[in-house]
A = this chain, B = another copy of it.
Amino acid sequence: MSSSLEFEVSFLPEQTSVVARAGESLLDVANRGGVHINASCGGEGVCGRCMVELREGSLEAAPGLYLTEEDFKKNLRLACRAKCDGPATIFIPLESRGDASVFKKAAQADESVRADCLDPTVREADLTLEPPSHEDNLSDLDRVNNALALEGMSDLFVELSDLRELSGILRENGFKIKADVYHELPLMNGDSSPKGRVLGFVPQSGKERLYALAVDIGTTSVWARLVDLATGEALEPAGDLNGQISYGEDVISRIVYAERKDGTGLPTLQRQVAGTINGLLERLEEGFPGYRKRTRLIYVSGNTTMSHLFAGIPPKTIRLAPYVPPVASWPSVDARDLGLQVERGTVLQIFPSVSSYVGGDIVSGVLASGFYRRPELTLYIDVGTNGEIVVGNQDWMTCAACSAGPAFEGGGVKCGMRAAPGAIENFAYDPQKKTHILGVIGGGGPTGICGSGLINIVADLFKLGIVNKQGKYVEGSAPFLRPSEDGTEYLLAPKEESAGGNDVVLTEIDIDNLVRAKGAMYSGYQTLVEAVGLGMQDLEKVVIAGGFGRSLDIENAISIGLLPKLPLERFQYIGNASLSGATLAAMSGTMWKAANKIKSMMTNFELSETPGYMDKYMASQFIPHTDASLFE
């Protein structure tokens, strides 16, 4: 409180105090203090998600589009629009809070990941050297290089900082040391001269083992997993919310934030995600103390925007036609140059992207799924705001991204939310009793509806004729229907029963958004499959990746037209395939080579520019589809 232009702002229920300057937006103050307030739009004032309650003190604010006079009288404010003008105490209601509880659980169940071979791109070379003599007074570096050449590793680059230590470490250890050697590609039989470099010289001890890290940077969440390179074992992963989430929920709002005129946007977002990863690395220390001293490799997968923001590269062109990413294939970088708290000489590789909207996370996922080396025609999908689709097999692959919109992640839905405690995930309507049962994540009263809940509700209501093909409620078909300003709505839980104190409803506009989203996905698959002269029935396998897929009811997803109508046994769910793929690369240079091959095999379709896509999209705007034969 050094001047009258600074005030203390307290945030409840966390009881965090932050010093605010006069005129600063409350959202900026919260971000600075590490207090998370949802702001899907990145603070642009167009999503209304950052609603908070002014409990004491004052804020400069006024009612507006997302803040009614009534809200205002209840002391509600939009954090991104409210400016600090004095001390204040702010309560952040549950709906506006980020929920990281899912990450705080102990090691989540995750499919085991195991590469066919353990051949990491880093290896320890034991160098047991003859000490120099008058007859043999080669330089220390030449002595080391000769020994490495005998093991098939020549022409290695050594950093200045390692040269500075070499002489000392050789003599302190009686000329018996280890060199950690990095090759971009694995050593092959007969490959006598792979270029590579020495990442460091260390004493021979026998006890320590090399580790590698796999990191998946999602728009919403970030995961890191340690790999023991001695055994090839993938150790338990740690996850957290991406620290960037306070600056926008989707990639477009992050890109907009990165372009802030004052130049602080990109560095802030870079630091945020690096900070999130550092937090995870810190947590991994609990299980594997000191592992960072022997970690030499980090493989990072993420969508194209996340990769650019992490690398600190302006992502502007990603969101402007013709949607050109600055970088698709990444050079290796020193992990410390990106702000990660690891040892010097830790190589970081970012997965290659195919295009602005088919990123390294998809390349990594395809790697994990393994279909790129099998003959079966496969559809690979990752459902989210940007739905990514790959169709192909060992011989060819096509891919596309479609803007499904945020419905699958609870966005654009009146009571939508992410799959977090309080979200309605399951639903069953009893047509006899005319009642319904809600499945709420974490139990208790519901706060809202998550994406998979939305699908399950609409599928059930459609099956029972309460919702029709056009996605409209059939008047009088259920007692929970009532008129509202958004057309008819279905009352899932009255405010007395809800956790948030508000009615939880599903409006016709919400159903419209879901229909648009599922239609965008479906017409995407169709376009890719038909582009190669095949039909949907030719798909021999459907692989569903991503956090969303875990709770997806396949039959319900088919019944609303999100997934193609195929025998259930053709569907496979593979979880966080992006993290799994990064784990495989960490284990094996052969896998990393395969990832680069996958990237170069993929033919990208810009759906909006592809003839026929718009017709297919329009035809998909029914439940399940205009062309009923597709779902018979």
Contacts and interface: CB of A to CB of B under 8 A. Distances in A.
Nearest to A316: B167
A606 B137 contact: yes
30 contacts: A132-B322, A132-B324, A133-B322, A134-B322, A134-B606, A134-B609, A137-B324, A138-B324, A139-B325, A139-B326, A139-B353, A140-B317, A140-B326, A140-B327, A142-B329, A157-B331, A158-B331, A159-B331, A160-B312, A160-B331, A160-B337, A160-B338, A163-B313, A163-B331, A164-B312, A166-B326, A167-B313, A167-B316, A168-B314, A195-B195
**Which of A134, A324, A329 gathers the greatest number of chain B CB atoms within 10 Å?**
A324
A194 to B, nearest CB: 12
A355 interface: yes
A321 interface: yes
A226 interface: no
Contact of A139 (B158, B166, B327, B337): B327
A432 B536 CA distance: 117
A164 B313 contact: yes
A225 to B, nearest CB: 24
Interface string A604-625: 0010010000000000000000
Contacts of A333: 160
B142 A311 contact: no
Nearest to A337: B160
Contacts of A140: 317, 324-327
A323 B136 CA distance: 10
Task: Say which size band chain A's interface belongs to.
Answer: 35 or more
**Interface of chain A, helix or strand or loop or mixed?**
loop
A321 B131 CA distance: 12
Contacts of A166: 326-327
A312 B163 CA distance: 9
B160 A322 contact: no
B312 A141 contact: no
Interface string A337-360: 110000000000000010110000
Contacts of A316: 167
Contacts of A181: none
A328 interface: yes
Nearest to A166: B326
A327 B609 contact: no
A314 B164 CA distance: 7
Contacts of A353: 139
A235 to B, nearest CB: 29
B164 A324 contact: no
Interface in A164-183: 164, 166-168, 171
Contacts of A337: 160
A356 B167 CA distance: 14
